[in-house]
Amino acid sequence: MEKWRRTERITVITKYILDRPNELISLNNFTELFQAAKSSISEDISIVRDVFQQFGFGRIETLAGAGGGMIYFPQISGKNRDDFLKEVAFKIANPNRILPGGFLYMTDIIFDARTAQKVGEIFAQHFAAMEPQYVVTIETKGIPLALMTAKALNRPLVIIRDGSRVTEGSAVSLNYVTGSSRQIRTMSLSRRALPIESRVVIVDDFMKAGGTAKGMVELLLEFKSEVLGIGVLIDTKTPEKKLVEEYYSLLKLEEVNEEKKQILIEPYLVK
């Protein structure tokens, strides 16, 4: 007789999987925990896998071979993704968000943990197949999105410091020119933070001309990193030509009109 009922096992398995995205999970964890036969656990997992697929929670891949295992890839269906981005765009388009100088107040949105998590899962879904080893961002506003991307990819987060004030041993610093306001700034990364020759993706909240992203790519070159992709929550319509060749953006900011109190922002939809 088995000690745990299927409903109980399924609750535990669901929680366990959700805590470990992009990680190979051995079936033995569960056969031992529940003192159950491998066939029972396999059936449990089939049920969870099918539900995850039907409800758009993500993809669970089961693997045969020594003991058997599975990997959970968080995914958002195209429709859920698009609905979510429309909702974020709608929130950002509130004219009360216009700050002097045509800036937009949106830290409340990008610092919201659930929003950040969903954005992170969208980025993770996009980048997973590239098999990055690290997720890189620059302080400060990109951190929540990058952390949630790192969580969904099950990879470490690396934060480039703004300025040269690094208390983390020897560091590489780089002067760069912000593309839009043409200011000279410095960014730094501790030597210890990233092994050389790593495969990385960059995540940030905003791209105007792309000067910061270009700076990050150059700094990462000093670490002989391979930058597999760049993800930003928002890019701007102008300047049309960015300083980096390719990137993946979720929302396009077309215009902030201080006079008319109007913000035009559109999601890049997949459906």
Footprint on this chain of a second copy (rule: CB under 8 A): 6-8, 10-12, 14-15, 18-19, 47-48, 50-52, 55, 57, 99-101, 103, 105, 107-108, 111-114, 116-117, 139-140, 143-144, 147-148, 150-151, 156-159, 161, 167-169, 190, 192-193
**Nearer Cβ to a second copy, position 257 or 268?**
257
Q: Say which residues have a Cβ less than 8 Å from residue 53's Cβ, sequence separation at least 6.
A: 59, 60
Q: How far is the CB of 121 from a second copy (least distance, A)?
A: 11
Q: Say which residues have a Cβ less than 8 Å from residue 153's Cβ, sequence separation at least 6.
A: 21, 22, 124, 127, 128, 132, 135
Q: How far is the CB of 220 from a second copy (least distance, A)?
A: 16
- Residue 20, amino acid: R
**Nearer Cβ to a second copy, position 50 or 197?**
50
CB 129 within 8 A of CB 75: no
For residue 82, the surrounding DSSP H or E stretch is helix 78-92
**Nearer Cβ to a second copy, position 105 or 268?**
105
Q: How far is CA 122 from the centre of its chain?
A: 6
Q: How far is the CB of 240 from a second copy (least distance, A)?
A: 23
**Nearer Cβ to a second copy, position 15 or 224?**
15
Q: How far is the CB of 246 from a second copy (least distance, A)?
A: 26
CA 117 – CA 135 distance, rounded (Å):
14
**Nearer Cβ to a second copy, position 139 or 255?**
139
For residue 9, the surrounding DSSP H or E stretch is helix 6-18
Q: How far is the CB of 231 from a second copy (least distance, A)?
A: 16
Instruction: State the DSSP string of 136-173.
Output: EEETTTTHHHHHHHHHHHT--EEEEEESS---SSSEEE
Whole-angstrom CA distances from 153 to 115, 197, 198, 204, 268 are 17, 19, 15, 16, 22
CB 141 within 8 A of CB 107: yes
Two tokens at 34? 């529940």
**Nearer Cβ to a second copy, position 162 or 266?**
162
Q: How far is the CB of 110 from a second copy (least distance, A)?
A: 10
**Nearer Cβ to a second copy, position 65 or 169?**
169
Q: Say which residues have a Cβ less than 8 Å from residue 260's Cβ, sequence separation at least 6.
A: none
The dihedrals phi and psi of 177, each to the nearest 5 degrees, come to -110, 120
Q: How far is the CB of 157 from a second copy (least distance, A)?
A: 4
